[in-house]
Chains A and B, each alone.
Chain A
Amino acid sequence: MADRLPRVPVREQAPEVRATNFEEVCYGYDEQEAMLEASRCLHCKNPRCVSACPVNVSIPEFIAAVAAGDFKGAASVIARDSSLPAICGRVCPQETQCEGSCILGIKSEPVAIGKLERFVADWSLQNGSCDAEKAPSNGYKVAVVGSGPSGLACAADLAKMGYDVTIFEALHKAGGVLEYGIPEFRLPKEKIVAAEISKVRSLGVRIETDVVVGRTVTVDSLLDNEGFSAVFIGSGAGLPRFMNIPGENLNGVFSANEFLTRNNLMKAYRHDYRTPVYAGNKAVVVGGGNVAMDAARTALRLGADTTVVYRRTEKELPARREEVHHAKEEGIRFMMLSNPVEILGDEKGWVRGVRCIRMELGEPDESGRRSPVPVPGSEFEIEADSVIMALGTSPNPLIARTTSGLETNRRGCITADEDGATTRPGVFAGGDAVTGAATVILAMGAGRKAAAAIDRYIKSRNA
């Protein structure tokens, strides 16, 4: 029986080795391993994995192709619904999506859908299959703001439909959070991110870097003066949150965004780049999401003894389970049910420690998670010479403030309907700019929906 076969383990760098380098942790399956793992799929009549996938990839169908050794066929099945499979295979929270609803997971372990997706995508990048079909040019120009997951997906779909697409990127490199946020050891930049972006470029999409929409140009000027028929805003959620506690502006306190941007986008870990970075000897990372795990594991690799401080328990950690597991293997300490109340400084204004308070879990809040409540009189101090705040991010207000007729909600997210249509005709939005910080796959899905809506919008106006 196929379901008796245990999940095929994936090869990884040994924890003690990878804790000192920035190479990718996971090596991925080879062909034999992938085919063996694919043979575990039960091909359920009603595949719950498909409905649990935010973009409804035909999972059993691509897995069947892998099992048969038809990797090219598998790639084209995935390509119907996902434009960034090499990335999603690496960074999707599979345990709460496809794999979380796999029937095999009830009694043993679910099929390694993420690892199989990654295998197929990597195979296809290496073997150059899956040339996308492109409609002839229709002469209409569409601008895309931001070159992260939603912008890339939207641009790729529009280009395939025959639109003349320009992406405007504020930073000097394309990729958005894939480039500045997610570390090399989880998502290799040259091999994967640059390769996916060059696929989008090969569809004819132009990417203009160093353009801050809202400053260098505005959405209004793109529509009114530069001849764009529609604009898609996929500017993400880049604004870091702080705790607003005493000592947060001491030297040695960073947002995870700063710490990760210095290291990922600006390559501070590499000797041939100029960027300085400071991880200290004892780093404390505050938060429990993927960004907190990324910051902690980066600090560790830069040589700091690293502790994650989180106000709930391990069960509530919002990070991908694999990241938490990897972080623990690498030697990161977790201090649960603790919350900083003050950052302590020395006489020169540098961090020397963190005063925390113990927490306990109370009633569930609106997110359904039990909300943490401080235990009176339980303050304690821990030593630290760097503190990294990974408390979540919100959308940058720059675009909303400089675009007429664009509404946002009280959290600063752009108001958009199911298809990404905003309150301003011709302006569409999707991804974290609309939802607040979420996942790559949701952003990609939103970008694709908006591409279809933009196509309908432009056609209806020019019918």
Chain B
Amino acid sequence: MFEVISKEMLSPAICRMKVYAPRLAASARPGQFLIVIPESHGERIPLTISDYDSVEGTVTIVTQRIGVSTGEICALEAGDCFSDVVGPLGQPSDFVGQSREELAGEHFIFIAGGVGTAPVYPQVKYLKEAGAHVDVIIGAKTSDLLIYKDEMRQVCDNLFICTDDGSEGFHGLVTGLLEKLVSEDGRRYTRAVAIGPMIMMKFAVQTARKLGLPITVSLNTLMVDGTGMCGACRVTVAGKTRFACVEGPEFNGYDVDFDEAMRRQGMYRVQEHEAEVEYEHECKIGRTR
């Protein structure tokens, strides 16, 4: 069993938890993910790793309640246990293999959307420690949904905020802000990394392409085992089928077929909706399993 050491709400629907998983904490690298099962009858849910501490033996995860399974995660409190936590899964980010000398010349711009901001944090922290220049854009629908502002400020060179409704920072989408930073403010970047909703990453890639900026994306596909067994996560990258769980989750953004990836993400939408209706009902009548 994997105990929740601490829990806090970052917004009414987003929670951050530290979970005791010593083997995972000792081997996690930026860019990798993990899978949790909140209780024994639950699904295997892939989540990004927001931080790890091999001394404490903990990993940090950030979850937004969007359906039944994420609801079950957010319902756990400090002292409760996840039935299972497994990882780290997937490949570490490309830059993890690069030397300090190589990274010192790089100017990264991270584009983080919604809960996708959480996995950006360990990457930025790692790069900063390795001597790279790192700027970060955090985007959300509205000011209440912005997360990790303070944490990010401490590890990056420049933090830029944008909201769809203009309630905080730049009024507009992350793509608009990225374009402004490069085209109007004259900022120079050598590499971009986008992590967030699939649709955001799709448009971030279009903008990066226009700006001639190489861009890496992290794909949050459907998965069952997360170790290469099921193929639910398959995506077309540069015309070839790849398994996001073992060959990704990060790919060259220019090569990803986002339309297919978004369509495949919705494979179980009908079942997910039915489960949600039933779950709400169970909660109302107080049924326990």
Contact A210 B85 (CB under 8 A): yes
Given contacts A274-B68, A275-B43, contact A398 B86 (CB under 8 A): no
Contact A216 B24 (CB under 8 A): yes
B258 to chain A, nearest CB (A): 13
Contact B69 A274 (CB under 8 A): yes
Q: Which of A202-242 contact B (CB under 8 A)?
A: 209-212, 215-217, 238-240, 242
B227 to chain A, nearest CB (A): 5
B219 to chain A, nearest CB (A): 14
Q: Which of A170, A172, A255, A276 contacts B271 (CB 8 A)?
A: A276
Contact B229 A396 (CB under 8 A): yes
Contact A398 B246 (CB under 8 A): yes
Contact B246 A273 (CB under 8 A): no
Contact B267 A215 (CB under 8 A): no
B241 to chain A, nearest CB (A): 6
- Residues in B neighbouring A276, C-beta threshold 8 A: 43, 268, 271-272, 275
- Check: B180 CB closer than 8 A to any chain A CB: no
Contact A266 B43 (CB under 8 A): yes
Contact B44 A172 (CB under 8 A): yes
- Check: A71 CB closer than 8 A to any chain B CB: no
- Check: B230 CB closer than 8 A to any chain A CB: yes
Contact B227 A212 (CB under 8 A): yes
- Residues in B neighbouring A367, C-beta threshold 8 A: none
Complex-state Cα separation, A343 to B218, whole angstroms: 28
- Residues in B neighbouring A418, C-beta threshold 8 A: none
Complex-state Cα separation, A349 to B236, whole angstroms: 14
Contact B241 A244 (CB under 8 A): yes
**Nearest B residue (CB) for A235:** B227
Contact A249 B234 (CB under 8 A): yes
- Check: A313 CB closer than 8 A to any chain B CB: no
Q: Which of B207-244 contact A (CB under 8 A)?
A: 224-225, 227-232, 234-236, 241
**Nearest B residue (CB) for A236:** B229
A337-362 vs B, Cβ < 8 Å mask (1 yes, 0 no): 00000000000110000000000000
Contact A242 B241 (CB under 8 A): yes
- Count A-side interface residues using an 8 Å CB cutoff: 40
- Residues in B neighbouring A262, C-beta threshold 8 A: 224
Contact A396 B83 (CB under 8 A): no
- Residues in A neighbouring B139, C-beta threshold 8 A: none
Q: Which of A240, A249, A252, A254 has the most CB of B within 10 A?
A: A249
- Count B-side interface residues using an 8 Å CB cutoff: 40
- Residues in A neighbouring B88, C-beta threshold 8 A: 215-216
Contact A242 B231 (CB under 8 A): yes
Q: Which of A171, A249, A258, A272 contacts B260 (CB 8 A)?
A: A249
- Check: A261 CB closer than 8 A to any chain B CB: yes
- Residues in A neighbouring B11, C-beta threshold 8 A: none
Given contacts A212-B87, A216-B86, A216-B88, contact A257 B264 (CB under 8 A): no
B72 to chain A, nearest CB (A): 8
Given contacts A240-B230, A261-B229, contact A212 B43 (CB under 8 A): no
B41-53 vs A, Cβ < 8 Å mask (1 yes, 0 no): 1111000000000
Contact B241 A249 (CB under 8 A): yes
Q: Which of A240-271 contact B (CB under 8 A)?
A: 240, 242, 244, 248-249, 251-252, 254-255, 257-258, 261-262, 266-267
B83-95 vs A, Cβ < 8 Å mask (1 yes, 0 no): 1111111000000
Q: Which of B41, B86, B260 contacts A212 (CB 8 A)?
A: B86
B81 to chain A, nearest CB (A): 13
Contact A170 B224 (CB under 8 A): no
A270-309 vs B, Cβ < 8 Å mask (1 yes, 0 no): 0011111110000000000000000000000000000000
Q: Which of A170, A172, A262, A274 has the most CB of B within 10 A?
A: A274
Complex-state Cα separation, A348 to B269, whole angstroms: 13
Contact A261 B86 (CB under 8 A): no
- Residues in A neighbouring B83, C-beta threshold 8 A: 172
Contact A257 B87 (CB under 8 A): no
- Check: B284 CB closer than 8 A to any chain A CB: no
Contact A261 B230 (CB under 8 A): yes
Contact B44 A266 (CB under 8 A): yes
A-B contact sample (18 more), CB < 8 A, given A180-B229, A251-B264, A272-B41: A172-B44, A209-B84, A211-B23, A215-B87, A215-B88, A216-B24, A238-B228, A240-B229, A244-B241, A254-B232, A261-B230, A262-B224, A274-B42, A276-B43, A276-B272, A278-B268, A396-B228, A398-B228
**Could you list 28 examples of A-B contacts with CB < 8 Å?**
A171-B225, A209-B84, A212-B87, A215-B87, A215-B88, A215-B89, A215-B227, A216-B27, A216-B87, A217-B23, A217-B27, A238-B227, A238-B229, A249-B234, A249-B241, A251-B267, A258-B230, A261-B224, A261-B225, A272-B41, A273-B42, A274-B41, A276-B268, A278-B267, A348-B263, A396-B229, A398-B228, A398-B246
